[in-house]
């Protein structure tokens, strides 16, 4: 129990905190800037390696690591101190967070060159990474709240980092108001639970709450659901990330959009599956699935009409979180076979979404860095100057739409199957429509930004430097690898995590000693292994055949150039042979950008789009009203049905 | 030895039947038959049935021009990926009980692979850098959006019907649907799924990209839409993809609604499939093409989200009520 | 062997594109009428394309006016090889009644090499089909191999 790996979680959390303080001490001196840039890379790398060392005991040997801070072990089966408890689900999310923070640190090495006050940026960045890792590794509800607050305030400060731009300050203000509202709800819920149960440890709460809900605990559930819904941006609490992800520097947008939302989902899963043990309750299943479906639809409808690159990506993030919540909602179903598929779909989509959304935001950052604008109406034709960025963005687009060789297909397929088998066929239909709309909005971005015709003022744009390309390359490689070998990823990462979500007996046992939980959780839920039939169609023979097909296709591509005639006709009179066809007119700039794409569809559904667009009024008071309304509705729903 | 035999068998499936060669030949024949039927309906003589072969080989022998503004790699790679994906689908569709490659999620795989050729058209058009192509891809995306909704509902309703009898819940596998049909009779004989069959016949022209739903590739208005800058071999690949898609859609219709075990001899089954596909394509593509004009893309969207959606929703509800 | 197939296919599937270089539209209407049920050139495999990059045979009508000269040259330069240029009607041959006008810059073969000329104002449909067949023969001769 006290072997080397019980110290690893605390190392993973503390190292970035220490790095933050060290960077703050070094201050803003020009000569020390290079050291300050390397410190976050070193600290996030340390966290990542310590979490990687934890893979063997936790994921492979199915062991749960605990660490009591200050060595305050539980007295007579009552937890007093703060406990860090790492099971497979925590480690799964922790790995995603640590890897993303490391890649973001590498990316911001060159990305943030033109800003000043960089020491403050790195301090805040390391606080953000440390608190995110701390949030998922802790086993104490109030500690989660503390880490959440550190995370929120670091994120707020980083959102308004470029405070000479009006948009950043406004985004930060909205984030403070709505984020604090969410945090207050969480604090209220935590306090209510503490007053009811007199303990703050998750494992002990699960043991004490087993099966008997008092009205106070139901109210606490409603508050905590709303609070964490604000963090995980479910509709209608989804209005803050739109501005925040647009205004933040891109290396931070990637963390906010791709990773911080996962911490909100993690907390929701912990509350629903572990503390309140709602598996097998159809009313909770309906609530979460309904919430997920609404989020999917509203998120992607707004994304189709956006005119700013990063805002569009933020709205599509909102929509993908809806997929994840629908997956976890099915996981609450009574039918265990279906429930497990749903949970695995939700987990897989968390991993995939982190990968491809980070990739898309990094490409957006590259475009912003080189051209200075992200307005879709002012860009065009950048694929000739930035070929790598275009290629990575296309890989990201294909992943997010769920096209087969890439990773989005596997997780989306699991979610479709889960929702259909659980009997929620309308949700499957909505999910498929949202998938096509996602493809449409990203094709709009590709046409407006990368393909098309180059503007005059962007003639001297160059490709981004190598340090910025490396994180993008790694993320694309992950997308392709996870898409082609989903069974490997599933066997080592997803299945242990799903197992630990359902079988919480061992989580409780580790804290209290053996035998405590057995009398409560008698049966273990087995997780089926994902062989190739489950994930669709990738078995090795098919892959070989596909490779042969591709080879033949490439041979066709290269060698079939039957050149024809030798007669040099007089078409070289005006050298217009290689211009685009314009009906004979002289070639001029006629780029069709964002405004003109899907014009007919936007006209036809004009009333619907206008209604949703006007609902997002931009006034903070409206948004706060929505959050409070959500809380009220959830409370009423839970009280009538539980 | 076993591995070598499996490998050779897989290569036969992929390259000869029903892979490249069979799709290639039969698809181009279907395209020619379609043109001949339209001409006959318009009291003309029309081109010979092998006309599409001549078209394809002529395009192979023509010079290709790549415009200066185009992004070369995407421009050249897009048609190739479209062709590869449409040939892969042919491995998943069973021919009257004989499957080449089965999995438990055939329908979802097919649904996604069918969107890849339309997507390759979009990427090819987008990378040409021409304004006409941009309008074309916008219309193509809206068309794709409009026919996905009824298509999903049809597949879900058939999956539910077949799955309820086979494994108690739902199924996504074409092999299961075939098994259900050989045990309980072909699906079109169940009256609850006849609206779904009609809706599927209405979707076929939109998938194939022919009048009245071909606003994306309108020849007269936007100078062939996304294909405006293509010439030579790559244009030939696009035309080939369109022809093979006709074959795939017809074969999918047969497997979903008329499947089962057919005869016990494999060659008779193949002949039955060929005749069935020809009849399906003639009814749903040629007859419609020779009568109707082209719809605007907003009208296409409105049409698909009312009529076929209503028909397939009726089927879905009836199937859920256990008819 | 592939060469033989390609050569045969070239004759059997000519795709046409039509450029109006200032004509009165008489020949244009006759050309479109050729594709109708009565004369039906589609039995020869002819298809009217919307863009010059897909075309083999280019039909040019009208005397070349000053305004359309540049545009016609640009369009014809974008037709890939092998191509055949056919001048339809008497206007491209000799400017017909418009000869000497201030806006006409001359017959077609001053600007592009013309392969087949079809005379008439407008030409009879049978004459147009005859010209099309001659164009096919010339296309066959313009072979080109790798």
Q: Is C110 on the interface with A (CB under 8 A)?
A: no
What is the pLDDT, as a whole number, of residue B297?
87
Lowest mean pLDDT among A467-471, B64-68, B118-122: B64-68
* Beta carbon pairs, A and C, within 8 Å: 68
Which of helix, strand or coil describes residue A599?
helix
Specify the pLDDT at position A316.
92
DSSP bridge partners of A375:
A308
Chain A residue with minimal CA distance to C3?
A: A562
Query: B231–C37: do the CB atoms touch at under 8 Å?
Result: no
Contact A97, A259 (CB under 8 A): yes
Are A220 and A635 in contact by the 8 Å Cβ rule? The answer is: no
Structure tokens at A184: 């207050």
What is the pLDDT, as a whole number, of residue A132? 93
Beta carbons of C73 and A577 less than 8 Å apart: no
> Which two three-digit tokens encode residue A375?
């307005």
Output the DSSP codes for A531-589.
-TTTTSS--HHHHHHHHHHHHHHHHHHHH----------GGGSSS-TTSPP-TTPPP--
Mean pLDDT lowest for which of A57-61, A128-132, B310-314, C56-60? A57-61
In order of A37, A539, C22, the CA distances from B102 in angstroms are 53, 11, 61
pLDDT tens for each residue of C5-20: 888 888 889 899 999 9
Query: Is the separation of the CB atoms in B284 and B201 below 8 Å?
Result: yes
Question: Tens of pLDDT along A95-143?
Answer: 999 999 999 999 988 888 877 788 888 999 999 999 999 999 888 888 9
- Determine how many CB atoms are found less than 10 A away from the CB of residue A446: 21
| Residue-level pLDDT at A535 | 46
Mean pLDDT of B161-184: 81
- Return the closest-CA partner of residue A23 out of A38, A10, A13: A38
Compare CB distances from C6 to A562, A574, A581 and report the shortest one's residue: A562
Q: What is the pLDDT of residue A564?
A: 44
**Confidence (pLDDT) at A2:** 52
CA A341 distance to own-chain centroid: 20
Alpha-carbon distance of A20 to A637, in angstroms, equals 43
- Which residue's entry shows tokens 């078209």? B55
Average of pLDDT values for B128-151?
A: 88
Extents of the domains making up chain C: 12-141
CA angle A92, A136, A297 (to 5 degrees): 75
pLDDT of A539 higher than 70: no
pLDDT over threshold 70, residue A570 = no
- Under 8 Å between Cβ of B145 and B300: no
DSSP H or E stretch at residue C20? strand C15-20
A326-352 pLDDT, tens digit each: 999 998 888 777 888 888 889 999 999
Rounded CA-CA distance A202/A85 in Å is 10
Query: Looking at beta carbons, which residues of chain A come within 8 Å of B131?
Result: 580, 582, 590-592
B62 touches chain C (CB under 8 A): yes
Which residues on chain C are in Cβ contact (under 8 Å) with B224? Answer: 49-51, 54
Question: Residue A243 — very low, low, confident or very high, per pLDDT cuts 50/70/90?
Answer: confident
Q: Taking the CA of residue B254 as centre, how many other CA atoms within 13 Å lie in the half-sphere pointing to its CB?
A: 27
pLDDT band with cut points at 50, 70 and 90 for residue B159? confident
Mean pLDDT across chain B, nearest whole number? 86
The pLDDT > 70 percentage for chain A reads 89
pLDDT of residue A473: 94
Of A547-561, B4-18, B108-122, C28-42, which range is least confident?
Answer: A547-561
Structure tokens at B205: 């022209």
Mutate to test the interface with B, among A390, A530, A592 (most CBs of B within 10 A): A592
How many Cβ contacts (< 8 angstroms) between chains A and B? 201
pLDDT for the residue numbered A420:
87
**Spatial CA neighbour of B109 closest among B27, B21, B172:** B172
CB-based contact A561 C81, cutoff 8 Å: no
The token pair that represents A479 in the structure block: 């997308």
In whole angstroms, give the CA distance from residue A581 to residue A579.
6
Going by pLDDT thresholds of 50, 70 and 90, the confidence category of residue A508 is confident
Q: Which residues of C touch A563 (CB under 8 A)?
A: 144-146
pLDDT digits (tens, 9 = 90+) for B208-229: 988 888 888 776 667 778 888 8
State how far the Cα of B66 lies from the Cα of B128, in Å rounded to an integer. 8
What residues in A contact B76, CB-CB < 8 Å? 557
pLDDT surpasses 90 at A211: no
Q: With bands split at pLDDT 50, 70 and 90, how would you rate the model's confidence at A588?
A: confident
Residue A64's closest CA among A200, A199, A197, A203? A203
CB-nearest to A548 from B14, B67, B112 is B14
With CB atoms and an 8 Å threshold, state whether C40 touches B44.
yes
SS3 labels along A192-213: HHHHHHCCCEHHHHHHHCCCCC
Using the Cβ of A574 and the Cβ atoms of chain C, whether some distance falls under 8 Å is answered with: yes
Query: Do residues A97 and A57 lie in contact, with contact meaning Cβ atoms separated by under 8 Å?
Result: no
SS3 annotation, chain B: CHHHHHHHHHHHHHHCCCCHHHHHHHHHHHHHHHHHHHHHHCCCCCCCCCHHHHHHHHHHCCCCCCCCCCCHHHHHHHHHHHHHHHHHHCCCCCECCECCCCCCCHHHHHHHHHHHHHHHHHHHHHCCCCHHHHHHHHHHHHHHHHHHHHHHHHHHHHHHHHHHHHCCCCCCCHHHHHHHHHHHCCHHHCHHHHHHHHHHHHHHHHHHCCCCCCHHHCHHHHCCHHHHHCCCHHHHHHHHHHHHHHHHHHHHHHHHHCCCCCCCCHHHHHHHHHHHHHHHHHHHHHHHHHHCCCCCHHHHHHHHCCHHHHHHHHHHHHHHCCC
Q: What angle do CA A447, A449, A450 make, to 5 degrees?
A: 75
List the single residue in A with minimal CA-CA distance to C2.
A562
pLDDT tens per residue across span A9-28: 888 889 999 999 988 888 77
Confidence of residue A560 (pLDDT cuts 50, 70, 90): low
Rounded Cα distance between A429 and A585, Å, is 46
Contact C77 A571 (CB under 8 A): yes
Question: Is the complex ipTM higher than 0.90?
Answer: yes
DSSP assignments along A315-355, one per residue: HHHHHHHHHHHHHHHHTT-SSHHHHHHHHHHHHHHHHHHHH
Out of C8, C50, C144, name the one closest to residue B223 (CB). C50
What is the spatial distance between Cα A266 and Cα A274, in angstroms, rounded to a whole number? 11
Confidence of residue A154 (pLDDT cuts 50, 70, 90): very high
Closest CA–CA distance from residue A552 to any residue of chain C (Å): 18
pLDDT at B306 over 50: yes
Res A559: pLDDT: 59
**Residue holding tokens 């089927």?**
B315
Condensed to tens digits (0 to 9), the pLDDT of residues B24-81 reads: 899 999 999 999 999 999 888 889 999 999 999 988 888 888 888 888 888 888 888 8
Q: Is the pLDDT of residue C143 over 80?
A: no
Which pLDDT belongs to residue A545?
Answer: 66
B8 pLDDT band, cuts 50/70/90, is: confident
* Distance of residue A583 Cα from the nearest chain C Cα, in angstroms: 7
pLDDT at A204: 79
B227 contacts in C (CB within 8 Å)?
51, 54
pLDDT at A544: 60
- Answer whether C73 sits within 8 Å of A573, measured CB to CB: yes
Please tell me which residue, B118 or B222, carries the higher pLDDT value: B118
C143 touches chain A (CB under 8 A): yes
> What local confidence, expressed as pLDDT, does residue B186 receive?
80
Q: Which of C117, C123, C19, C121 is nearest to C64 (CA)?
A: C19
Rounded to an integer, what distance in angstroms lies between the CA atom of residue A262 and that of residue A231? 9
Q: Do A576 and C113 touch (CB under 8 A)?
A: no
What is the model's pLDDT at position A514? 57
User: In sequence order, what are the residues at sequence separation of 6 or more whose Cβ sits closer than 8 angstroms to the Cβ of residue B89?
Assistant: B110, B113, B114, B248
Q: Residue C1: CB partners within 8 Å, gap ≥ 6?
A: none
For residues B84-122, one letter each, b for 16 or more C-beta atoms within 10 angstroms of the residue's C-beta and e for the rest, the string is bbbbbbbbbbbbbbebbbbbbbbbbbbbbbbbbbbbbbb
The shortest CB-CB distance from A564 to any of B63, B74, B139 is to: B63
Third-level CATH fold of C12-141: Rossmann fold (3.40.50)
Q: How far is CA C48 from the centre of its chain?
A: 11
Of C74, C78, C142, the CB nearest to A565: C142
- Which run of H or of E encompasses A165? none
Query: Considering only alpha carbons, which residue of chain C is nearest residue B222?
Result: C50
pLDDT band of residue C81 (cuts 50, 70, 90) is confident
| B76, B87, B113, B131, best to mutate vs chain A, most A CBs in 10 Å | B131
Preceding amide of A236 cis, omega within 30: yes
Q: How confident is the model at residue C142 (pLDDT cuts 50, 70, 90)?
A: confident
Q: Strands A65-68 and A83-86: what pairing?
A: antiparallel
User: Which range in A356-365, A408-417, A482-491 is most confidently predicted, on average pLDDT?
Assistant: A356-365
Average pLDDT over all residues of chain A: 83
**Residue reference for tokens 């020849």:** B219
Q: By the CB < 8 Å criterion, does C69 face chain A?
A: no
The domain limits of chain A are 4-527+605-641
Is A287 a residue whose pLDDT tops 60? yes
Distance CA A132, CA B273 (A): 58
Do B119 and A590 lie within an 8 Å CB cutoff?
A: no
Strand C57-61, strand C84-88: pairing: parallel
Q: Are A203 and A85 in contact (CB under 8 A)?
A: yes
Q: Nearest chain A Cα to B163, which residue?
A: A421
Residue B107 has pLDDT above 60, yes or no: yes
Residue B66 with chain A: CB contacts under 8 Å = 578
pTM (2 d.p.): 0.91
C54 in contact with chain B, both atoms CB, cutoff 8 A = yes
Q: Please report the pLDDT score of residue A566 as a whole number.
A: 40
Q: A452 with B127: CB under 8 angstroms?
A: no
């Amino acid at each position: 129990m006290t072997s080397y790996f019980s110290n690893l979680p605390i190392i993973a959390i503390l190292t970035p905190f220490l790095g933050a303080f060290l960077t703050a001490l070094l201050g803003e001196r020009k000569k020390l800037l290079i050291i300050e840039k390397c410190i976050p890379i070193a600290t996030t790398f340390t966290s990542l390696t310590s979490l990687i060392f934890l893979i063997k005991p936790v994921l492979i040997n199915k062991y749960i690591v605990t660490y009591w801070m200050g060595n305050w072990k539980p007295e007579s089966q009552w937890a007093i101190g703060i406990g860090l408890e790492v099971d497979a689900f925590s480690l799964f999310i922790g790995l995603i967070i640590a890897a993303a923070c490391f890649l973001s640190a590498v990316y911001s090495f060159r990305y943030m060159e033109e800003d000043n006050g960089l020491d403050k940026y790195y301090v805040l960045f390391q606080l953000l990474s440390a608190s995110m890792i701390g949030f998922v590794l802790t086993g104490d509800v109030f500690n989660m709240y503390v880490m959440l607050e550190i995370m929120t305030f670091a994120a707020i400060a980083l959102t308004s980092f470029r405070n000479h731009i009006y948009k950043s300050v406004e985004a930060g203000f909205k984030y403070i108001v709505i984020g604090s509202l969410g945090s207050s709800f969480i604090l209220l819920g935590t306090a209510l639970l503490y007053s009811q149960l007199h303990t703050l440890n998750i494992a002990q709460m699960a043991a004490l709450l087993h099966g008997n809900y008092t009205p106070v605990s139901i109210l606490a559930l409603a508050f905590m659901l709303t609070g964490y819904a604000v963090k995980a941006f479910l509709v209608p609490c989804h209005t803050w990330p739109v501005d925040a992800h647009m205004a933040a520097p891109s290396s931070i947008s990637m963390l906010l959009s791709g990773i911080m939302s996962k911490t909100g989902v993690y907390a929701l899963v912990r509350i629903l599956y572990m503390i309140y043990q709602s598996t097998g309750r159809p009313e909770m299943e309906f609530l979460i699935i309904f919430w997920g479906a609404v989020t999917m639809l509203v998120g992607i409808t707004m994304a189709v009409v956006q005119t700013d690159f990063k805002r569009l990506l933020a709205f599509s993030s909102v929509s993908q979180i809806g997929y994840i919540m629908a997956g976890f909602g099915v996981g609450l179903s009574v039918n265990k076979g279906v429930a497990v598929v749903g949970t695995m779909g939700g987990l897989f989509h968390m991993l995939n979404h982190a990968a491809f959304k980070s990739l898309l935001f990094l490409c957006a950052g590259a475009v912003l860095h080189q051209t200075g604008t992200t307005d879709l109406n002012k860009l065009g034709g950048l694929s000739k100057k930035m070929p790598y960025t275009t290629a990575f963005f296309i890989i990201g687009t294909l992943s997010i739409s769920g096209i087969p060789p890439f990773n989005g297909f596997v997780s989306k397929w699991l979610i479709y199957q889960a929702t259909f088998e659980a009997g929620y066929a309308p949700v499957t239909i909505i999910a498929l429509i949202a998938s096509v709309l996602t493809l449409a909005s990203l094709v709009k971005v590709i046409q407006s930004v990368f393909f098309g015709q180059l503007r005059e003022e962007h003639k001297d744009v160059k490709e981004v430097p190598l340090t910025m390309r490396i994180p993008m390359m790694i993320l694309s490689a992950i997308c392709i690898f996870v898409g082609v070998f989903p069974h490997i990823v599933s066997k080592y990462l997803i299945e242990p995590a799903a197992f630990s979500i359902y079988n919480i007996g061992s989580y409780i046992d580790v804290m209290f000693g053996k035998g405590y939980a057995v009398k409560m959780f008698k049966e273990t839920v087995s997780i089926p292994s994902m062989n190739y039939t489950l994930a669709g169609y990738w078995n090795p023979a098919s892959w070989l055949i596909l490779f042969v097909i591709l080879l033949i296709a490439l041979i066709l591509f290269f060698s079939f150039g039957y050149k024809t005639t030798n007669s040099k006709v007089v078409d070289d009179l005006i050298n217009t042979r290689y211009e685009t066809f314009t009906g004979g007119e002289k070639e001029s700039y006629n780029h069709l950008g964002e405004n003109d794409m899907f014009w007919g569809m936007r006209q036809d559904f004009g009333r619907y789009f206008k209604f949703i667009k006007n609902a997002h009024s931009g006034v903070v008071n409206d948004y706060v009203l929505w959050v409070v309304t959500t809380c009220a509705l959830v409370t009423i729903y839970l009280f009538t049905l539980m | 030895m076993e591995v070598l035999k499996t490998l050779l068998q897989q290569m036969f499936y992929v390259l000869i039947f029903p892979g490249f060669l069979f799709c290639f030949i039969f698809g181009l024949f279907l395209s020619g038959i379609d043109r001949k039927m339209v001409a006959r309906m318009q009291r003309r003589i029309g081109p010979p049935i092998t006309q599409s072969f001549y078209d394809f080989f002529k395009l192979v022998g023509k010079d290709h021009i790549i415009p200066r503004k185009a992004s070369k790699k995407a421009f050249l790679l897009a048609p190739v990926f479209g062709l590869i994906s449409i040939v892969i689908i042919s491995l998943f569709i069973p021919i009257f009980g004989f499957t080449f490659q089965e999995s438990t999620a055939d329908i979802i795989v097919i649904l996604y692979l069918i969107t890849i050729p339309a997507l390759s058209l979009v990427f090819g058009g987008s990378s040409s850098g021409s304004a006409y192509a941009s309008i074309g891809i916008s219309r193509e995306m809206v068309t794709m959006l409009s026919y996905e909704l009824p298509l999903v509902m049809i597949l879900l309703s058939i999956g539910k019907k077949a799955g309820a009898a086979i494994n108690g819940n739902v199924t996504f596998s074409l092999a299961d649907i075939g098994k259900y049909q050989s045990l309980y009779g072909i699906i079109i004989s169940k009256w609850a799924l006849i609206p779904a069959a009609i809706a599927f016949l209405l979707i076929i022209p939109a998938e194939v990209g022919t009048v009245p739903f071909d606003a994306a590739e309108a020849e007269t208005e936007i100078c062939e839409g996304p294909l405006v800058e293509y010439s030579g071999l790559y244009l030939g690949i696009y035309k080939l993809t369109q022809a093979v898609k006709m074959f795939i859609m017809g074969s999918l219709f047969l497997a979903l609604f008329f499947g089962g075990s057919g005869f016990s001899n494999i060659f008779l089954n193949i002949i039955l499939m060929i005749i069935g596909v020809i009849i399906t394509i003639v009814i749903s593509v040629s007859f419609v093409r020779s009568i109707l004009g082209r719809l605007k893309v907003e009208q296409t969207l409105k049409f698909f989200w009312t009529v076929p959606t209503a028909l397939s929703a009726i089927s879905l509800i009836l199937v859920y009520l256990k008819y | 062997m592939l060469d033989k197939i390609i050569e045969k296919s070239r004759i059997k599937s000519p795709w046409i594109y039509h450029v109006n270089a200032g004509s009165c539209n008489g020949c244009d209407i006759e050309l479109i009428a050729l594709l109708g049920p009565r004369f039906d050139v589609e039995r020869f495999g002819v298809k009217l394309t919307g863009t010059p990059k897909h075309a083999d045979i280019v039909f040019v009508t009208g005397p070349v006016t000053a305004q359309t000269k540049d545009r016609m040259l640009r369009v014809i330069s974008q037709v890939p090889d092998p191509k055949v240029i056919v001048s339809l009607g008497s206007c491209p041959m000799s400017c017909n009644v418009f000869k000497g006008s201030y806006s006409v810059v001359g017959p077609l073969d001053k600007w592009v090499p013309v392969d087949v000329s079809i005379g008439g104002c407008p030409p009879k449909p049978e004459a147009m089909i005859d010209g099309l067949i001659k164009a096919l023969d010339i296309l066959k001769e313009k072979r080109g191999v790798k």
